[in-house]
């Protein structure tokens, strides 16, 4: 069992770090929130919506309100940086003008303005993760879930990614970050939920 008797609430605008060893259940937790995985018992609410009761179409709508960043980036490998972001906007039904205006802007924001037409395999790990973050925030989601976003990155890129996530949180977006890296938690310095063997063993409002 990946998760056992886990209950917690995240309020809007919060920055929550979920920490635990590999296999503690962090990824399962994020998949539950996205309804990518179904719990054997229990419920997950997004605002007042029970995400596991949603039909396929409504689930698509819900996912547009949540931006996701993964450890392995999950970029579309046969699309350029520009197209990766544009695709997320198209999926959300944005107009063409809006796409041509916003995409270069957000790429500048994550410092990829000069790599618009690069494919993911032409970008470094840190650049790919910044692209993934840009994609996650382009539709102004209410919640960003970052599942081990720094797992594959070196310390410098890790620091940059954490700074970008903090900036996003400062602008009002709720962030849930999972990690097993103590340094990341220390540099975030906000609420920390500690998971061990699928159970919450600690929930501190301020790690410092």
Closer residue to another protein, CB minimum distance, 38 or 201: 38
Coil, helix or strand at residue 63: helix
Q: 1 or 91: whose CB is closer to another protein?
A: 91
Q: How far apart are CA 205 and CA 208, in angstroms?
A: 9
Site string for another protein, 87-126 (x = CB under 8 A): xx-xxxx-xx------------------------------
Provide the 8-state DSSP code for 85. H
* Nearer residue to another protein within complex by CB, 5 or 58: 58
Judge contact between 151 and 173, C-beta under 8 A: no
Could you tell me the smallest distance in angstroms from the CB atom of residue 128 to another protein? 13
Q: Which of 14, 36, 102, 111 binds another protein (CB under 8 A)?
A: 36
Tally of CB atoms within 10 A around 194: 18
Smaller CB separation from another protein, 64 or 199: 64
Closer of 46 and 87 to another protein (Cβ): 87
Paired tokens of 175:
């962030």
Which one of 32, 33, 34, 123 is in contact with another protein (CB under 8 A)? 34
Instruction: Please state the length of the chain.
Output: 208
Q: How many CB atoms lie within 10 A of CB 71?
A: 18
> Taking contact as CB under 8 A, which single stretch among the options 13-21, 60-68, 100-108, 194-202 is the one that binds another protein?
60-68
The single residue among 24, 75, 185, 188 that binds another protein, judged by CB under 8 A, is: 75
Query: What is the DSSP annotation of 128-196?
Result: HHHHHHHHHHTT--SEEEEESTTTTS-HHHHHHHHHHHHHHHHTT-EEEEEES-HHHHHHH-SEEEEEE
Task: List residues near another protein by CB under 8 A.
Answer: 34, 36, 56-57, 60-61, 63-64, 68, 74-78, 87-88, 90-93, 95-96, 135, 139
């Amino acid at each position: 069992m990946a998760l056992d008797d886990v209950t917690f609430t995240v309020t809007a605008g919060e920055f929550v770090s979920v920490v635990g060893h590999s296999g503690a259940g962090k990824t399962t937790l994020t998949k539950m929130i996205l309804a990518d995985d179904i719990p054997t018992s229990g419920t997950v609410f997004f605002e007042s919506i029970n995400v596991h009761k949603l039909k396929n179409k409504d689930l698509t709508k819900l996912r547009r309100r949540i931006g996701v960043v993964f450890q392995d980036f999950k970029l579309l490998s046969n699309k350029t940086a520009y197209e990766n972001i544009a695709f997320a906007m198209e999926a959300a039904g944005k107009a063409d003008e809006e796409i041509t205006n916003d995409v270069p802007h957000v790429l500048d924001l994550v410092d990829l303005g000069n790599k618009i037409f690069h494919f993911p395999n032409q970008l470094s790990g840190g650049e790919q993760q910044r692209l993934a973050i840009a994609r996650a925030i382009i539709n102004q989601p209410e919640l960003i879930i970052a599942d081990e976003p720094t797992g594959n990155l070196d310390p410098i890129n890790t620091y940059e990614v954490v700074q970008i996530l903090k900036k996003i949180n400062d602008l009002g977006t709720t962030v849930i970050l999972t990690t097993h890296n103590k340094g990341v938690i220390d540099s975030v310095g906000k609420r920390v939920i500690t998971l061990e063997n699928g159970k919450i063993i600690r929930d501190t409002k301020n790690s410092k």
